[in-house]
Amino acid sequence: MKEYEIYADLRVPVNSKIIVRLDGRSFHSFTEKMELEKPYDSNFYRIMVKVCKDLFEEFSPIFIYTFSDEISILLDNVPFNGRIEKINSVMASFASSSFTSNYDGEFAKPVAFDSRIIPINDSDIYDYFKWRQDEAWRNCVNGYGIHFLKSKYSSSQANEKINGLNLSDIHELLFMNGINLNDVETWKKRGIGIYRKNKEVKGFNKKELKEQISYRSYIYVDCNLSIFSKEFFNKLF
Ligand SMILES: Nc1nc2c(ncn2[C@@H]2O[C@H](COP(=O)(O)OP(=O)(O)OP(=O)(O)O)[C@@H](O)[C@H]2O)c(=O)[nH]1
Ligand SMILES: [Mg+2]
């Protein structure tokens, strides 16, 4: 019967980098049902960051980027010999379990993440994350925009109104009504990055009988990301 497992041998090349992108399934209705704060729920983000840290510890990626209900994981050591079914299913279920175990409260039904694999050349990594960060910004402007319009109009009127506006129109509309997106926290506008950083550790060299400084890496959660640049990624690998 083994020959029926026709997708089991699908692999990505193990000597290349890949990005795995996870996305919460039907999180629009999940967040509605759980009555999460709009447009940003700090506790939801705290849990998404915890999921990212769990993923970081388990799969040792180079970089993880998250905003809204999505997580992009950049890996240079492709796990599971590059087996696509295995990578997608394990990563998605790992994230779902982490999310569930870190959430305080009962769900109406189990949560799930979907997963896709994007093989990527070094030269395209910046473009990929720039694309997602631009999306985080669009998400932020639209999120604040629709939240504001829904406070003034019915849901359908608000949706109709926002569809006729571009990003700078929404920015302007918010500004005229006392909401300055420049003052909004950076993580809402640019997403959150998780990567390794070095910290100084002071020790004592017993042989040479003197103080010694060494460096130890730790997982850093960057809630104050700059707008992505090529240099940012050059420093990561
Ligand atoms: N209230 C609230 N909702 C959020 C927050 N972050 C994400 N969401 C919701 O998560 C949704 C994510 O969008 P999508 O991934 O495009 O839609 P989805 O419903 O998850 O559908 P699929 O991904 O296609 O299964 C957004 O539309 C929001 O409704 C938050 O901080 N607060
Ligand atoms: Mg989703």
User: What CATH number did the domain enclosing 112 receive?
Assistant: 3.30.70.3000
**79 within some domain:** yes
Distances (CA, A) of 78 to 27, 99, 122: 28, 23, 15
78 is a domain residue: yes
Q: How many Å apart are CA 227 and CA 87, to the nearest integer?
A: 30
Q: pTM of the full predicted structure?
A: 0.95
How do the pLDDT tens digits run along the chain, 237 residues long?
Answer: 999 999 999 999 888 999 999 999 999 999 999 999 999 999 999 999 999 999 999 999 999 999 999 999 999 999 999 999 999 999 999 999 999 999 988 888 999 999 999 999 999 999 999 999 999 999 999 999 999 999 999 999 999 999 999 999 999 999 999 999 999 999 999 999 999 999 999 999 988 889 999 999 999 999 999 999 999 999 988
Domain contains 49: yes
d(CA 77, CA 95): 19
Distance CA 4, CA 79 (A): 24
pLDDT in the model for residue 25: 98
Q: Ligand 1 within 6 A of 26 CB?
A: yes
- For residue 192, what pLDDT is reported? 98
Determine the residue of 42, 67, 68 to mutate for testing ligand 1's pocket, defined as the one with the most ligand atoms within 8 A of the Cβ atom. Answer: 68
Q: Please tell me if the CB atom of residue 24 comes closer than 6 angstroms to any atom of ligand 1.
A: yes
Number of domains in the chain: 1
Q: Is residue 75 part of a domain?
A: yes
Which-ligand-closest: CA of 38?
A: 1
Q: Does some domain include residue 237?
A: no
Give the span between the Cα atoms of 133 and 50, in whole angstroms. Answer: 20
Is 131 domain-assigned?
Answer: no
For residue 192, list its beta bridge partners: 66
Instruction: Establish whether residue 210 lines the binding site of ligand 1, counting it when its CB lies within 6 angstroms of any ligand atom.
Output: no
Composition of the chain by helix, strand, coil, percent to 5: 50, 25, 30
Does ligand 1 come within 6 angstroms of the Cβ of 66? no
Looking at the CA of 42, name the nearest ligand.
1
Measured N-to-C along each axis, helices 84-102 and 42-59 cross at an angle, to the nearest 10 degrees, of 140
d(Cα 24, Cα 99) in Å, to the nearest integer? 10
- 74 near 64, Cβ under 8 Å? yes
154 lies in some domain: no
pLDDT at 142: 97
Ligand 1 mean position, distance from CA 206 (Å)? 55
Q: Is 17 in contact with 120 (CB distance < 8 Å)?
A: yes
Nearest residue by C-alpha to atom 9 in ligand 1:
28
| Enclosing domain of residue 17 | 2-122+185-190
Cβ atoms of residues 117 and 73 within 8 Å:
no
Write down the pLDDT at residue 20. 98
**What is the Cα–Cα distance from 206 to 208, expressed in whole angstroms?**
6
Mutating to test ligand 1, I would choose from 28, 37, 43 the residue with most ligand atoms within 8 A of its C-beta, which is: 28
128, part of any domain: no
